[in-house]
Structure 1
């Protein structure tokens, strides 16, 4: 494959603080070149390219658009300005219990979530024991119990176990290693190391500087929804520290 794996060109997205507010046509015409009251841009005019095999950490204070950027790459959100082009399937390690149905068992959710991400039933049957064992003993014992009875930690473990088995070339991670106990975090680290060793492309949002410097060679620093630094992880973290101290 030639060209970047991920390409953002003047990317922007607009959110509405009060979704019940309706602007009249006259308001829209008058304010067509401004941001109407009640709306804001968590990201705007963001451009970058990520090549296959890149490992990129996204850095910034809370509310600067980091998680929003991952959701745009994943296709969960649609931009209002510019474009985002992704050449390859995405393994989104974002909200790890997303897609679970509380009325279904862990076993049924494994097939449901795996299927939603493009894994066929045969693949999931072959890797079923491996996925469940990775999720841990608690999940193994409760695999035929409705997920509504799972703790939040059990859901996260099962979600990570499923998504980390996707063969997709692009990994999107949002504070994943901040969840679970120390044993589970070590499993996460080992899995990420293995996936990166296979040549996967990583985009990681994290406030953990050890994780950023361990896994990422490149850093993007977002400030008020704008990309102000695209360099090394050290440069992105330096910009973040300067902003916090101001």
Structure 2
């Protein structure tokens, strides 16, 4: 089976300023004069792995382990400092639901706007419009500017748009906590249906139970380095054991 993701010796380096600057002007002046000192911080260190088409893979690890950075590199939001990433297919990123919405526009307008960004014409989005609104449970608020939505309503709309449009690769970062319990169950069922239809899932979560339910494989990142890669249940168990022992 062909790989849909190939991560080849990827490192991601950030430069952290050693001293605090109060204003942008002060920062720019010190930068031009060569007076700024930086500490190098590696969010990812020489990470390599492949994901086959149709696989469901989770990235697990403590906060700051590099999981979200890895997703952003794969989604093309960030470019690695070293190494390369190849993705063979269309990506539907759910890294921050609603991040691409225009807050002054209504839900109706944002659905068509997001569709255009994803490369779909108006007729295609019109065909899927009712399904998106029904799934998000926002029928009574479709012509309300989304700036008046709660964070949960915004996330539900974002999830509905991202998962209605078929993609080869679904990149999901900690977004299954949106809405109430029943809506969370509906989100998990939709993801399961997409996986049954040969969509590839790359999933970040701190919820080991969700990882075990949705994913067949897990990659454990620790301080930007791959510490484990294998069947989801085995890797989650090793990770949980290490946490209980205070090793991570």
TM-score with structure 2 length normalisation?
0.89
Aligned equivalent of 2:136: 135
Q: CA RMSD in A?
A: 2.0
Structure 1 residue 22 corresponds to structure 2 residue 31? yes
Aligned equivalent of 1:198: 197
Comparing 14-23 with 235-244, which one deviates more in the overlay? 14-23
Structure 1 residue 169 corresponds to structure 2 residue 168? yes
**Structure 2 portions without partners, runs of 5+:** 22-26
Aligned equivalent of 2:185: 186
State how 1:51-70 maps to structure 2 within 5 Å: 51-70=52-71
**Structure 1 portions without partners, runs of 5+:** 28-35
- Quote the offset at 1:144 in angstroms: 0.8
Provide the aligned length of Structure 1 versus Structure 2.
235
Structure 1 residue 113 corresponds to structure 2 residue 114? yes
Spell out, residue by residue over 1:8-52, the C-alpha distance to the aligned partner (whole angstroms, 9 max, x if none): 01101112334947387799xxxxxxxx73331111100001110
TM-score with structure 1 length normalisation?
0.89
Look up the SS of the partner of 2:164 in the other structure: coil
- Quote the offset at 1:121 in angstroms: 1.0
Comparing 58-67 with 175-184, which one deviates more in the overlay? 175-184
In structure 1, what is the Cα distance between the partners aligned to 2:207 and 2:70?
18
The list of structure 1 runs, each at least 4 consecutive aligned residues, that deviate by more than 4 angstroms after superposition, is: 23-27
Aligned equivalent of 2:24: none
Q: 1:4 to 1:151 in 2, by over 3 A?
A: same
- Quote the offset at 1:238 in angstroms: 3.0
Spell out, residue by residue over 1:89-127, the C-alpha distance to the aligned partner (whole angstroms, 9 max, x if none): 111122111111111111111111121112221110111
